[in-house]
A and B are shown apart, each in its own frame.
Chain A
Amino acid sequence: MKQLTVGIAGTAKNTGKTTTTRVLLEYFQGREVGVGITSIGYDGESVDNITGLPKPRIFLQKGDFAAVTEKCLEVSSARMKIMDRMDIHTPLGRVVCGKVMKEGLMVIAGPNQSGHLRMIRQWMGNQEAGLVIVDGALNRIAPMVETDGFILATGAAHTVDIDRLALETHSIGVICNHPEIMEIPYPLSSHGKTLIWSREGDILTELPAFLFEPEDLAGVSRLLDSASLFYCPGVISGPCLGYMGELPFREGMKFVFDDPVKLLLSDVITAHRFVERILAIGGRVGYLRSLPLLAVTVNPFYPSCRYGTHQYQADYIDREALLSRVKAAVDVPVIDVVSGRPEQLDVFWKGLWHI
């Protein structure tokens, strides 16, 4: 069985990342698949760092692998044999990797940047962990490039507007799963600049790697007839995508980005419209590396702040409406991990191995 690294990304804090992680973990614990876990955030604490509301805890069983900071071990009831001390330093100390020797609750905070997550993934790859779960943090998405795909946890904590949630989820699904994988010549991909080149393979213009304002795209409109490929190695903002989406590029124009995260970091609805628009004019959008959206979990919970006391309390939107609207918006499995039926979960998780 191949090893799979699955990220759990959220659209905001409290959208159910840790609950999804816990359900995924519990499903695979005790099966033939060895499980490894880490987090780019801080999970398993009893109360939320900001709202003070209770949080789900992570229970690790004997034999599970984990990558956590030294301080996590001090406050966890699970006991882990440290196998390696990584050269990864965080505000909570150095990240250590090991195997759980005594089951119990574990606070999980690990590497919080992509490069460091890559090191952990490689370490887990050398162990017997068939499934590596990377719990996310807040709305962070960048480190997910180091996973084979991610589950999106979304819900009312991001916005209580169900239409908006469904639309954004749809956009994320399109951005991640519809564009194709493309290749560009190596020298160009390592150039460190945004490039536009002609059908003949000549570079027409060099632009900054990171496109924040439409002014950064000055001159592009003059190249529409000769341009055949646009490659951006960095981040491109929503306004830039909006601007490019309006330009009359010629049929067959290709737009290549490093990975879907680069578009997800812009306004996802604008990025989605950009993809749709380019496809509609006969163009193509692709990535050097894929990051598929594997599934979506929905959470009706949100912390509402009481006026006057400034204390947070638990509140909920309509669970069924949320589930059905998001299901209709994407073509990947959508599940309520809290109230979903066990057989749904079974199908859901088994589907992960098909990516």
Chain B
Amino acid sequence: MIPKKVLLAPIDPVHDVGIKMIRRGVEEAGHQTVLLQPDLTPEEIIREILKHSVDVVLLSRSLGYGVAEILARFVDLADAVGIRQSVRLGIGGMAIRPELAAELGFDAGFGPGTTIEEALAFVEGREYVPQSVRQKKEKKDIVKGYTYKYRNETIAGLLSRITDNILSWASDKTSPGVLRAQVREELWDVDRWRNYEKMTEFLEEYPKLCGDLPRNFYEKGIMHPKTRRFVREEVVALESYIRATRERMEVPRLQHTLLKPLVFNQYGTGCPFQDTGHIKVSEAWGADGVIHFDPSWGARTEGFLDGFLTHQEDGTVITPANLNRIRNSLEPGTLWQVRAHRGLNTPETVVLAGKFKADLTKINICYGALGAGTDPARLTVDAVAAIRYAAKYGMHFDVVTNEELSGVPAYRAFAGMLITVDLALRLGGRPILQPLFCFSPEVMLEGYMRDNYVDFNVAKIAALRRIIDAPIWPGAPIGFLTHTEDRVQSSTSTAYHASLAAMLGVDAITVASSDEAYSGGPISVPAKVDTLRAVAEGFRFFGGSRIEPSGQAGVWSGEIEAGIERVLKQVVDRGEFVDAIYDGILGSREEGVYPGRNGRDTVMKK
């Protein structure tokens, strides 16, 4: 490389920070620089260029009306004095784009986000090849490094007894959901499906195990009233959209200097095309993973439909084609979670997710049997099967505690979560704890967050860590019930919760879009960007620093741990785990939850 002589000038009253940074990079690369003072006239700068016989000139200037004419005059002078062809001219500034640089007569324009390398490439007259960040993001294993060893032996003992009970109780039972999962697992092959091979045996068996809606679909071709198939033009447009978006998108990291938490964001507009748009935005604004959720009627329906289907309301219909299309739209480094935790299709969802190589799923017996309406006995049978499939496909899963939102105290929801966790460990699964970071009815009533949102959330994490060495993924989403229809407030609140999560060293978080609580329909892309940008700013602001919770966090953490132990004892004392749910030990009618009724009396003897 031949060293160049570079003149740098802030043709601006004051703004010269950026150009000083560029200068340092240029000098470190072995070039000679001349830095002029700010606020010189074009004539004065031209004079310096002539005096120093430089090879390259880099100007910086913030733009306003009339400034463009000053810069154009500078280029004109350079042209008229005959140096335009021998000296390369670059312009940088906040509003500079290539189009404007061309219009002003410069050889290059450097806008916001310009790297030293980019400026250096210009100085050295070589083509700037942006460092690809697409391949930089690699999937991270959330559970890696955790031993799952219990630190609270009493709780470990209680959980072991409950798991014994669940496995024993479920050992001679099955359900339509379990049977469908079995058919899907054994008779439906993803490669044959991709090759358009007809799976006759599957199609003979599967509809028999479905409810009316899917059976009518398979036998009579009747579609769910709020769904329709995509037409060919839409499919072509979707493929073209994905291709075009991939070509120009980058996949940044949100975490600044931190290694975690991973940031997840859900889609589920109902329309897989729109979902794909949301996924690409989430990826392009730094989300590490995306979450698929199905419509509420999907959880109450025995069986899945088929085909590439769009849906009028929230929640994206689970079909092989929908999962396949969405899977194929993901960037290689994006983690994909397919929720399976609550409905009548829990085990089959896990099977399908596994066949389409999802990274994560979501299973919880207690929340699914209380907050979302599936019969406790049915969900227990289904969850045992689902966890076995998750273990088989190597899909880790979070165990959510959203019953807190209905009024169940954290310690009781955590007891339910730990029951599923222990069951999962026994069955070879790798569960992830998912406490809520939320302004729940419990904290409202008890005043736990009267002063701040920090202490009680810190208490939850501390309590769980004292019980078991397991990964923690607060959700879902963080800041639940702190959000309002004000998008600034909403995204700011998420950013603070995300920063708190980062300070606590948790492994992942799920963030809401800023209009998620009040959208009155599908969440919007700008609102998704709001939150991801806010979270990135939070991570940037706090970096590796810490905040100090008050002493109250320690007190509450002890109370939560004691409460968990108390609830687990009650479950053990009750005898049957399923009865404990029916009796309200893991969430009562007084607190606001009821045992679910979907799928009641569908549990069968094997």
Contact = CB atoms under 8 A, between A and B. Distances in A.
Interface of A: 12-13, 40-42, 45, 49-51, 69, 71, 89-92, 109, 112-115, 137-143, 209-210, 212, 234-235, 237, 261-262, 265, 303, 305, 312
B47 A140 contact: no
Contact of B103 (A113, A114, A138, A235): A138
Contacts of B105: 40-41, 112-113, 137, 140
A139 B81 contact: no
A55 to B, nearest CB: 11
Nearest to A238: B43
In the complex, which of the residues B43, B68, B73, B79 has the most CB atoms of chain A within 10 Å of its own CB atom? B79
A90 B107 contact: yes
Given A51-B65, A90-B102, A210-B46, 14 more contacts: A12-B69, A13-B69, A40-B105, A42-B99, A42-B102, A91-B107, A112-B102, A115-B84, A142-B79, A212-B44, A212-B46, A212-B47, A235-B80, A265-B76
A141 B76 contact: yes
Contacts of A141: 76
In the complex, which of the residues B73, B97, B99, B108 has the most CB atoms of chain A within 10 Å of its own CB atom? B99
Contact of A138 (B72, B81, B84): B72
B434 to A, nearest CB: 45
A91 B77 contact: no
Contact of B95 (A50, A142, A235): A50
B35 interface: no
A20 B247 CA distance: 38
Contacts of B145: none
A91 B69 contact: no
A234 B103 contact: no
B221 interface: no
B102 A212 contact: no
A4 B540 CA distance: 59
B499 to A, nearest CB: 32
In the complex, which of the residues B68, B69, B84, B103 has the most CB atoms of chain A within 10 Å of its own CB atom? B103
Given A137-B104, A138-B104, A235-B77, A91 B109 contact: yes
Contacts of B603: none
A210 B50 CA distance: 9
A128 B490 CA distance: 63
B76 A50 contact: no
B9 to A, nearest CB: 16
B22 interface: no
28 contacts: A41-B105, A49-B103, A50-B68, A71-B98, A90-B102, A90-B107, A91-B99, A92-B98, A92-B99, A92-B102, A109-B102, A112-B102, A112-B103, A112-B104, A113-B85, A114-B79, A137-B104, A139-B69, A139-B73, A140-B75, A142-B84, A210-B47, A210-B50, A212-B46, A234-B80, A235-B80, A237-B43, A261-B80
B285 interface: no
B586 interface: no
B82 interface: yes
For the complex of A and B, 7 pairs with smallest distance between CB atoms: A142-B79, A42-B103, A138-B72, A142-B76, A91-B98, A91-B101, A112-B105
Given A138-B68, A210-B46, A49 B99 contact: yes
Given A89-B107, A91-B109, A209-B81, A305 B43 contact: no
Nearest to B105: A112
Contacts of B79: 113-114, 142-143
User: Looking at chain B, what size class is its interface with the partner chain?
Assistant: 35 or more
B99 A109 contact: yes
A43 B95 CA distance: 18
B425 interface: no
A273 B334 CA distance: 69
Interface of B: 43-44, 46-47, 50, 63, 65-66, 68-69, 72-73, 75-77, 79-82, 84-85, 95, 97-109
A302 B160 CA distance: 79
Contacts of A138: 68-69, 72, 103-104
In the complex, which of the residues B76, B82, B101 has the most CB atoms of chain A within 10 Å of its own CB atom? B76
Given A115-B84, A212-B47, A312-B65, A140 B99 contact: no
Nearest to A312: B65
A288 B69 CA distance: 27
B80 A137 contact: no
Contacts of B82: 234
A140 B72 contact: yes
Nearest to A262: B80
Given A91-B107, A140-B72, A140-B75, A235 B81 contact: yes
Contacts of B72: 137-140
A305 B65 contact: yes
B44 to A, nearest CB: 8
B99 A210 contact: no
B100 A50 contact: yes
A13 B75 CA distance: 15
A154 B77 CA distance: 20
A91 B108 contact: yes
In the complex, which of the residues A51, A89, A92, A305 has the most CB atoms of chain B within 10 Å of its own CB atom? A92
B73 A41 contact: no
Nearest to A237: B43
Nearest to A208: B50
Nearest to A137: B103
B604 to A, nearest CB: 63
A188 B162 CA distance: 104
B45 to A, nearest CB: 11
Contacts of B73: 139-140, 265
Nearest to B101: A91
A262 B107 CA distance: 22
B55 to A, nearest CB: 16
A33 B39 CA distance: 48
